[in-house]
Structure formats: C-alpha cells, structure tokens
C-alpha cells in the first residue's frame, strides 16, 4: 500500500532520528557533483522519487508498543519533502503491518522488497528477527528501533539505540529494584515472541544478582489470559 497524505501528528524522537539515518546514504545518488539526477540505477530510486518501505507492528500482541512511530515517520518525511526532498527527489513509502508475529514480519519484508521494490526499510517492530536474515542477504538497508538482538548482528541494520542484545545482562534493573526496597519479584512477559524470553532471562539475572528473588514467572497471551487470576497469583506469591 502506497502512503498518501496523512494528518500532521506528534512526531517521535526515535522514529524521526531513525529516518534521518536512512536519508543520509541517499545523498550518494544524484548529488550535485554527479552528472545527472537520473543517473542512479538503484532499486527504489528514480529521477524524481525515492521509494522506501515501512514495516511496523501495528496490530497483535504488541500493538501498543509503537503507537506514534508512523506519525514520526510521516512528520520527518513531510519535512524533507517540503524542503525539496533528497537532491530533488520526493520520498514515498509502502506500508506493511507484521501483526506482532515474527513469521508475518518476514513475509511483510518479502512483499516490500519483491513486490513494492523499495530502496530501504524503516522498521518499528518487536520481532525484527523474522526478516533480519532475508533483508541482510538482499542488501536492504534497515533503520528503526533496535528492539531485538538481530539489530546488533547485521551490518545493514542501523538504530539510534540497541535495546536488547542476546548476551549477559546488566545490573541496572536489579540495583534499582533493590534500592527501592524490592525483595520478591514477579516477571510477566508476552507469549508468541522471540524477544520476550530473552528480555525475561536478562531481567531475572539482573534481579537475582542484586539479591531480589524471582517468585513468579508468567506469560500473557492476548485475548486468552485471565488477568484477575494472574493478579491473584502475583498476590499469593507475595511479590513486592
């Protein structure tokens, strides 16, 4: 789906900065020193337009994780286009929702690259690992939120910060909870996610290194979990 004009919404720092990273390499095609703006033969770039892809988690279990990401993308691209685009080229994008599913994330990336012929991908998704290997092999630059370990494992993926790495934990979480008086913790994460178990393990390691006991582990499944029962389990475990 090609994006058309959208309302001017509040932009987010993370998505705006990530789009700035994607725009930077575009100046290599058709820069003032080149023979002509139409000389670039890169897929997704024509003499008048740069076509990118937006891969977003907008529905499913993590639908609330990136509520303003697309608004930030629209605001940043609108600003760029209002000032002449990139070397005279206007920036457009095709959009795909991965439904919070790693498999759908991969399928969405295939559609953007193979059907929509995008230059690069802007990604606001929890489980980007579903498409990471494919996009790396295809040589597609990816910018966005580094929400899973794949962002630190591929040279074509760029983020303003890397939220999660598949390695040792840090003491920060545990030190904070311990300092605030916490001694017994309940860990609740989301089912059907490749990222959640990694985050949960690192959180558990951090807590226990600070002397905080993990007394309950639970997973939340959208539209299935009985939250009243879950709260009762947390209470019965005497988590503080």
Residues 189, 214, single domain; the answer is: yes
pLDDT band at 31 (very low <50, low <70, confident <90, very high): very low
Of 37-41, 205-209, 214-218, the least confident: 37-41
- Checking if the pLDDT of 126 tops 90, the result is no
> Of the spans 116-130, 190-204, 213-227, which averages the highest pLDDT?
116-130
82: number of Cβ within 10 Å: 9
Asked whether residue 6 is domain-assigned, the answer is no
Query: Tens digit of pLDDT for each residue in 135-149?
Result: 999 999 999 988 888
Asked whether residue 4 is domain-assigned, the answer is no
Give 90's contacts (C-beta < 8 A, 6+ positions apart).
48, 49, 50, 81
Identify the CA nearest to 98 among candidates 126, 122, 136, 78. Answer: 126
Cβ contact 239:216 at 8 Å: yes
The secondary structure element, H or E, covering residue 208 is: helix 195-209
The secondary structure element, H or E, covering residue 199 is: helix 195-209
Cα separation of 144 and 65, whole Å? Answer: 13
User: Six-digit token pair at 213?
Assistant: 């006991």
Asked whether residue 8 is domain-assigned, the answer is no
Asked whether residue 2 is domain-assigned, the answer is no
Cα separation of 139 and 127, whole Å? Answer: 19
Residue with the larger pLDDT of the pair 24 and 34: 24
Mean of all residue pLDDT scores within the chain = 84
Question: Residue 145 belongs to a domain with what CATH number?
Answer: 3.40.50.2300
168 class by beta-carbon count within 10 Å (0-12 exposed, 13-18 middle, 19+ buried): exposed
Number of structural domains, the chain?
2
In which domain, by residue range, is 157 found? 13-162
Residue with the larger pLDDT of the pair 200 and 5: 200
Query: Tens digit of pLDDT for each residue in 93-114?
Result: 999 999 988 899 999 999 999 9
pLDDT at position 124 is: 93
Give 28's contacts (C-beta < 8 A, 6+ positions apart).
none
pLDDT band at 25 (very low <50, low <70, confident <90, very high): low
Give 19's contacts (C-beta < 8 A, 6+ positions apart).
72, 73, 76, 77, 122, 143
């Amino acid at each position: 789906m090609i994006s058309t004009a959208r309302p001017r919404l509040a932009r987010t720092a993370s998505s705006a900065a990530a789009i700035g990273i994607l725009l930077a390499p575009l100046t290599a095609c058709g820069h003032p020193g080149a023979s002509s703006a139409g000389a670039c033969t890169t897929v997704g770039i024509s003499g008048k337009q740069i076509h990118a892809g937006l891969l977003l988690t907008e529905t499913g279990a993590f639908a609330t994780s990136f509520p303003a990401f697309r608004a930030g993308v629209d605001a940043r691209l609108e600003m760029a286009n209002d000032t002449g685009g990139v070397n005279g080229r206007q920036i457009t994008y095709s959009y795909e929702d991965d439904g919070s599913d790693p498999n759908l994330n991969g399928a969405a990336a295939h559609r953007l690259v193979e059907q929509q012929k995008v230059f690069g991908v802007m990604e606001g998704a929890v489980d980007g690992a579903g498409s990471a290997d494919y996009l790396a092999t295809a040589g597609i630059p990816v910018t966005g939120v580094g929400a899973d370990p794949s962002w630190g494992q591929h040279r074509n993926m760029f983020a303003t910060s890397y939220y999660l790495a598949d390695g040792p934990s840090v003491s920060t979480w545990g030190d904070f909870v311990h300092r605030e008086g916490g001694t017994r913790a309940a860990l609740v994460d989301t089912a059907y996610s490749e990222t959640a178990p990694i985050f949960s393990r690192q959180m558990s390691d951090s807590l226990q290194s600070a002397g905080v006991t993990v007394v309950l582990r639970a997973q939340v499944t959208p539209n299935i979990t009985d939250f009243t029962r879950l709260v009762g389990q947390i209470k019965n475990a005497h988590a503080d």
